[in-house]
Amino acid sequence: MTVNIVCVGQLRDAGLRAVAAEYEKRLSRYCRLKTVETDNRGLYILPPRAYKVALCVEGRQLSSEEFAAEIDRVTTGGRSDLVFVIGGADGLPEAVKGACDLRLSFSRMTFPHRLMRVILLEQIYRAMSILKGENYHHY
**Each residue's pLDDT tens digit, 4-60:** 999 999 999 999 999 999 999 999 999 999 999 999 888 888 988 999 999 999 999
Domain 2-138 fold is: Alpha/beta knot (3.40.1280)
- pTM score, two decimals? 0.94
Secondary structure of 27-68 in the HEC alphabet?
A: HCCCCEEEEEEECHHHHHCCCCCCEEEEEEEEEEECCHHHHH
Domain ranges of the chain: 2-138
